[in-house]
Structure 1
């Protein structure tokens, strides 16, 4: 490893040299408004291809950026001049004669400068507006070119016309290819000259060593380094995948860039071969990324490090596909780039589209067949063994996705057969690009989640250090980790959408512009219904509600359980989020449809009339439901008494609340009942229940013994809480009877009835065993063996019976 310090020293020296050169480079002179206007005026007014549009848009963006920079610098200068004029104050009432000539001259000079700067700013803003308008027109032009290319129909490859056109253009294409071949031969002759051949061969050998053995050695080194340095866990696997892919891309870039630079320095490239070389560098980097990503995700060498949950058999059968994808990418790249370099005929371009569509779809079709074979193998083995083994069922969404991909493949083949080869080629490229982007962002999603869970959560070593240093609670760290993971995934999701839409345009704004117009639309009153806007509104609704559902599930299963909120409050938060999120999604859908709030004022007026007549009860219940969720006088899980009904609250909906009664039936109560009527909440502030027993006993009863018997009955029951302790009080003497009141507490009011019954049985048995008689009713004989009550003892007072409970 002695070469590593030398290489590091060379890299550092190169960085310092680049920095010194950058410092020595003089700063560019700021262009004037006249120069920017002249540059804008000399741009061509017409374009013929998408490449011309891209070049002009890049130029317009640079003009706009320079103009904005000019406006920013002049605005600060204008503010400074206004401040200096403000220091001079306003012109006196008497005019110039009322102040000194120096102040008058200074004011005139500053006013002149201020007016000149203000004029420059106004001119610059006009240039910026013109540049933006021109860019908008160019985007519309490119959109039209793009749509025309996709919808252009060519001769079908199954007919004679296709092959006839290809034969007719063959001679011209051969001449163009011969010109390219002559340039390639000249480049080879230049490379084999004695003064160049040593450097060329050395660069080629160096590139091969870096791209093949270098990548293999780098992967093994990274794997061993990760096993030694990184702690075991999910982060190690996701970080290793990213490191392997980045290393593969970096090494391949160094290899191909080294060869390209060597050829450039030794004059090997010609005009056409240089364009091929540039395309080769970009394609090689892309192929290295795809191959590295596929091999890292499959991890056939070390299945325990595999990031996605792929069975070993499936991973083994998919192992050749990263290399097959590289081969297909090369086959797709070669005819396309050669046609672009030599400016081949239209027939050759159509043939290249056919090759691209068939090659890419053939590769995806072969992958689907491999996946089907892997899934059928375990079923055959189970049937042969005739063993009652349970197999993991494939998720439904996987089958739907595979079926959709197969349908797209059939559509592409049909498009090729009927002659829409440009659209077929575009769909095939977009399908492959979609698969690559999804695989790449799957790794990033996993890495983002693993990173925050392994660094911030209370289970990580760093999280434990934070907890010890700052006194943070474990729950706080877990909440922070889950929140950061969710935010990072949301950000990555939007970047994924931009990456998926990248082949459609230069950015998401252009993609939205392309999808914004599919027809002229129909105007109904003040509302214009455009087909493209309808599709956009439906897409916003579907995507919005799916995102809202995912967010609610994430809150329910991941974030809210890490908080100190009780389950009822968690349910209330999720319900409120559903209401607010649903209203927001609908508002965005209306905005995408072109219906603003001001355009639906008549709908609001009609609704107000309807509310005044027949919808007031519904609105009242809806508002009451929001009040219940916000103020929370009752919540999910409370035991409430409403009128003659009592039970547990199971759910608070937008209109009504569900209460489960004691007989397991459900009572639907409008929310307004909880707001306008008296509700008894048995568990609002205290979840404990109370057992109250009142016993009338004769005056001759030994009160102390009776109290001991009652307390012993309470103490023997496991459902009675020891804190607060049970108590027995003697309320007084009523109509010749001693009134004992016993109070005990249980864990929940729901079990108070059963505990009270059990305790009463125990009390009666205890009183009988202690020969303590209960008060008897007139005409009812006392129990056998019990002393007769005094003749002066009357019946129990009204409303108090032996064994009465509350």
Structure 2
């Protein structure tokens, strides 16, 4: 009944669509004419209409398959791909003619609202309104149809996914024969022997065939040469890789691990190439039958698995102590390497058993018995590896001299946590799988143990690749071994962690279709208001902003080093121009980047306006400092290099930023002063505009000294100093009669006020020297103590009573 209703619905929608306009982007390449025998030829259909008819047939077929629920999983996956393709095409069609629709909507809005019923509208205006409304409706119809079709396709995709997931869930939870039941053992051994005998029998039959012997006799020279090449690659491939890496390491780029990594990869791929050649020779010679050929096609993959695990074991455990990713004792290193080889062999045996399953008839009980030992051995190997790791960490914790491993130093905390979590989860699932297998849940056990092994291998490959990328980064950046401690090493670790996530998901059974859907959603991004944020928009924004930022810094550097020094602008003005150029350039770069990324922030204006009130109260001090910084850069009451005093602190202005100003005091300490204090407070600028300034040197002489004589000496001393300007000339002021001295002051204008303390010190030295020569006394405070009644003190003295 459901199928009949869906068929009728499809037929009705098809009739409506065939009478509508073309809604797809593609232009008609050719017209197809559909004719009915005994009837007149119909109008040719456009490519869009043909495509839509194809969609209707596919949708009808998909609904029938879903209702029947008898198709294989592979057929459902293929059907899902077709539906996704239609869905994507319809979603693209929904964005067609967007600019034209917006233009027509603006034109209709410009005409105003239609008059009420009974009110006449000018004929020209009414005709224009009708024409625009008709065109707008004709453009909207294809979009509506595409939206309906996209929703229908998406619903069918969801139904197919539900069926596939339900089937996989049923398989995982299905309980089969118990492998530990002795009744199943004889059948398993018999089935395995029959499979092996079948393959050997086919080989014997091929060897006895005269056609095969003639084929080998005709092609034996090429086959022999291929075998020689394969043996060279197998036997001497490792040595060739090491020699080649040593040659390039001596010629170029010494001191890095790049060439060692390349050599290790060649030690894998050269023998693998030899195995591929041998497989090709055997296949061409036609020595194997059908079963043997099917097994032979899998041999290169099995060989690559064994070689890859051997390569990982060397990279992890057989490196030097200073660069080992997982430093362990020599005995444990050899044992760990052997255990990894066993895991690789178990993966290969599992695939071999699967290949035999496709070529030989195995009962469920026989398969359970043959699979069970592999699962148990794999779990025991994982347990042993975990014990070795825990024992080594315990010894390292007791030995304080053992430093952190290279992976621990260079991986970020977040990436290290993720890897540790995944590693522990893999171990846990590996321990649970033998229990499930012994209970008959063989599919669930295999879905745990083998992905756990592959996860550990993937983590190990991640660590090795991470070290290689750090070495390569140190090579191209010239930092060498120091690259391990840089931010770039941490960023590489994060990027690799994110790149490993899809691989881990694939290992644990996530379907490729689900990963592709997630990738499409990621590319489409998400919407905030009317703005869609997508990775493409983000990358565009980052690239454009980086280009603008780099151009701004380049212009600032050119202004600072080339253009401004050739002008008559003072250093403070030059610094203000360079800083202002930087702020304007960064603002323009951000503005252009937002526009290039297609981000429409107008919809956020209301939200930003509401938030600005709260931000204004919460950040009013920062805003005040920001505005004050702009005022300082424009008005320039102080400039870089000025000697100022503010808030009791005195020093040189070293930097003026938007928020604060950095002042270097005379004791070489930096004081950060908010810009608002420089605008609203009292600031003394000793070098504003020029460096000319006055110095005052106070001097006191004893009473009885001739003041005119003192004045002449001080005048001579001041005029003789090279830093004192002759015009205006220095002056000597007789300040008055002090409590202990006659007070004088030297008041002189200096060429550079920055030398004030030095000049003042030198004048004091000269005054002391001349006063000594002229025998002029510089008094100091003296006090005489007079006692009014000294007899009271003598009366208390016992000696005075005796007298």
TM value normalised by structure 2: 0.51
Q: CA deviation at 1:186?
A: 2.5
When the two chains are superposed, the root-mean-square deviation of aligned CA atoms in Å is: 6.9
Residue 278 of structure 2 corresponds to: 258
The aligned residue for residue 716 of structure 1 is none
Write out aligned runs for 1:209-224 (5 A).
209=231, 212-224=234-246
- Per-residue deviation at 1:347? 5.4
Instruction: Name the structure 1 match of 2:697.
Output: 695
Cα 1:768/1:597, change in 2 over 3 Å: closer
Partner of 1:328: 346
The equivalent position to 1:733 in structure 2, one of 710, 731, 734, is 731
Contact 2:652 2:663 (C-alpha < 8 Å) held by counterparts: yes
In the alignment, the residues of structure 2 paired with residue 663 and residue 62 of structure 1 have an alpha-carbon distance, to the nearest angstrom, of 73
Q: CA deviation at 1:57?
A: 5.7
Give the Å deviation of 1:768: 0.9
Q: How does 1:703-714 map to 2 (within 5 A)?
A: 703-706=715-718
Distance 1:62 1:311, change over 3 A: same
Which residues of 2 match residues 432-447 of structure 1 at below 5 A? 432-447=453-468
In 1, Cα distance between equivalents of 2:240 and 2:686: 64
Q: Deviations over 1:232-261 (max 9, x none)?
A: 131xx3233234324523532441453256
Shift in CA distance, 610/502, structure 1 to aligned 2, threshold 3 Å:
closer
Q: CA offset at residue 652 of structure 1? A: 13
Does residue 768 in structure 1 map to residue 768 in structure 2?
Answer: yes
Report the Cα distance in structure 1 between the residues aligned to 2:251 and 2:469, rounded to whole angstroms.
19
Report if aligned partners of 2:433, 2:445 keep a CA contact under 8 Å in 1: yes
Tell me, yes or no, if structure 1 residue 239 matches structure 2 residue 259: yes
3-state DSSP of counterpart to 2:771: coil
Of 198-207 and 448-457, more deviation after overlay is shown by 198-207
Q: Which residue of 2 aligns with 1:181?
A: 196
Hey, what's the Cα distance between the residues in 1 that align with 2:190 and 2:639? 83
After superposition, the C-alpha distances for 1:627-661 in whole angstroms (9 at most, x for unaligned) are 79999969999999765678999999999999999
Q: Distance in 1 between matches of 2:688 and 2:296?
A: 76
Q: CA separation in 2, counterparts of 1:431 and 1:639?
A: 69
Does the 8 Å contact 1:692/1:744 carry over to 2? no
Q: Are the counterparts in 2 of residues 501 and 508 from structure 1 also a CA contact under 8 Å?
A: no
1:700: Cα distance to partner? 1.2
Q: Deviations over 1:49-101 (max 9, x none)?
A: 65455555677789999x99xx9xxx9xxxxxxxxxxxxxxxxxxxxxxxxxx
Alignment partners' CA distance in 1, 2:464 and 2:719: 72
Q: CA deviation at 1:675?
A: 9.7
* 8 A contact 2:279–2:300 mirrored in 1: no
- Alpha-carbon offset, residue 484 of structure 1: 10
Query: How big is the shift at 1:618?
Result: 0.7
Match of 2:504 in 1: 500
**Structure 2 residues not aligned, in runs of 5+:** 1-29, 33-46, 97-138, 522-526, 529-534, 543-548, 561-574, 595-599, 700-709, 735-744, 781-803
- Corresponding residue for residue 380 of structure 2: 362
Describe the SS at the equivalent of 2:696.
strand
Which of 208, 211, 214 is the matching residue for 1:193? Answer: 208
Residues 642 and 688 of structure 2 are in contact (CA less than 8 Å); yes or no, is this contact kept in structure 1?
no
Cα distance in 2 for partners of 1:311, 1:681 equals: 67
The 1:247/1:64 distance shift into structure 2, 3 A limit, reads farther
Look up the match of 1:230. Answer: 252
- 2: CA distance, partners of 1:505 / 1:142: 16
What is the Cα deviation at residue 184 of structure 1? 1.0
Q: CA deviation at 1:147?
A: 5.9
Report the alpha carbon displacement of residue 739 of structure 1 after superposing the two structures with TM: 1.0
Contact 2:206 2:288 in 1 (8 A): yes
1:681, distance to aligned residue in structure 2 (A): 11
> How do 1:647-666 and structure 2 match up within 5 A?
none
Matched, 1:277 2:292: no
- Structure 2 distance, partners of 1:364, 1:727, is 89
Take 1:632 and 1:421, find their aligned partners in 2: how far apart are those partners? Answer: 77
Alpha-carbon distance in 2 for matches of 1:637, 1:48:
83
Q: Which residue of 2 aligns with 1:162?
A: 178
**2-side partners of 1:344 and 1:322: how far apart?**
30
* Helix, strand or coil at the partner of 2:717: helix
- How many residue pairs get matched? 575
CA drift at 1:409: 1.8
Q: Which runs of no fewer than 5 residues in structure 1 stay unpaired?
A: 1-29, 76-117, 156-160, 383-388, 460-477, 518-525, 528-539, 549-554, 585-595, 712-724, 747-751, 785-806
Map of 2:403 onto structure 1: 392
Asked whether the 8 Å contact 1:692–1:741 carries over to 2, the reply is yes
**How far, CA to CA, are the matches of 1:135 and 1:635 in structure 2?**
70
Structure 1 pair 442/729, CA: closer, same or farther in 2 (3 Å)?
Answer: farther
Q: Give the CA deviation at 1:442.
A: 4.4
Q: Tell me how far 1:439 sits from its aligned partner.
A: 3.9
Instruction: Give distance in 1, aligned partners of 2:179 and 2:200.
Output: 30
Normalised by the length of structure 1, the TM-score is 0.51
Per-residue Cα deviation, 1:677-718 (whole angstroms, up to 9, x for no partner)? 4696999999x999974225653125453466x67xxxxxxx
